[in-house]
Amino acid sequence: MAINRTPVLKRCRSLDLDPIFLGYDKKSNRSSRAGKKMSEYGLQLREKQKAKFIYGVLEKPFRNYYEKADRMKGMTGENLMVMLESRLDNVIFRMGFARTRKEARQVVDHKHVLVNGKLINIPSYLIKAGDVITLTDKAKELQRYKDVLEVTGARLVPEWIDVDQDAFKGTIKNLPTREMIDVPVNEMLIVELYSK
């Protein structure tokens, strides 16, 4: 699997992105791109790279998400963002069971997650409204998750997820709308980039 080994804060600076959106507490030096004029294509490309970086998706799967979003009813950009937001690894991150999306991906990979009572180890699995997500009984006993909850306990859980952190359980009330997604990405620029 392709892995980008560029330091996270360096990537954040180059994409003009606050690391808080990735689950990091650190602030980046935001002055790196100040005053630099970018072409229209450069802006579109940066938005695409930002979305890929935030959700940890590589180019080919990202392109597939875009094509699927394009075939769906409604606005393509909004459909794309909702699809990225409803990935299982992102939902685990949003529920506070992991500090970062990378860690959430690892939680799913290590077979610690049940969706509707069924073991799922595919980070890109798309959840649906009404799905119940829990950690396995073995994972609930691990000190690691108790420590993670101490760190993420104060994190704001989005309104479209109902979480019982004591039971390591979450219910998807409904799929998010674009207004509920707090990711600083202008999806319209991504649509413009792909529709050329």
Instruction: Report if residue 105 sits inside a domain.
Output: yes
In the chain (196 residues long), the average pLDDT of successive 10-residue segments reads: 72 77 62 68 92 92 95 94 95 92 93 95 94 93 88 82 91 93 92 90
Is residue 2 assigned to a domain?
no
Question: What CATH number does residue 30 fall under?
Answer: 1.10.1050.10
**Residue 93, pLDDT score:** 93
Classify residue 1: in a domain, yes or no. Answer: no
**Same domain for 141 and 120:** yes
Domain span at residue 168 reads: 87-175
Residue 143 and residue 128 share a domain: yes
> For residue 26, what pLDDT is reported?
62
Distance CA 35, CA 41 (A): 17
Model's pTM, two decimal places? Answer: 0.85
Same domain for 15 and 50, yes or no, is yes
Count structural domains, the chain: 2
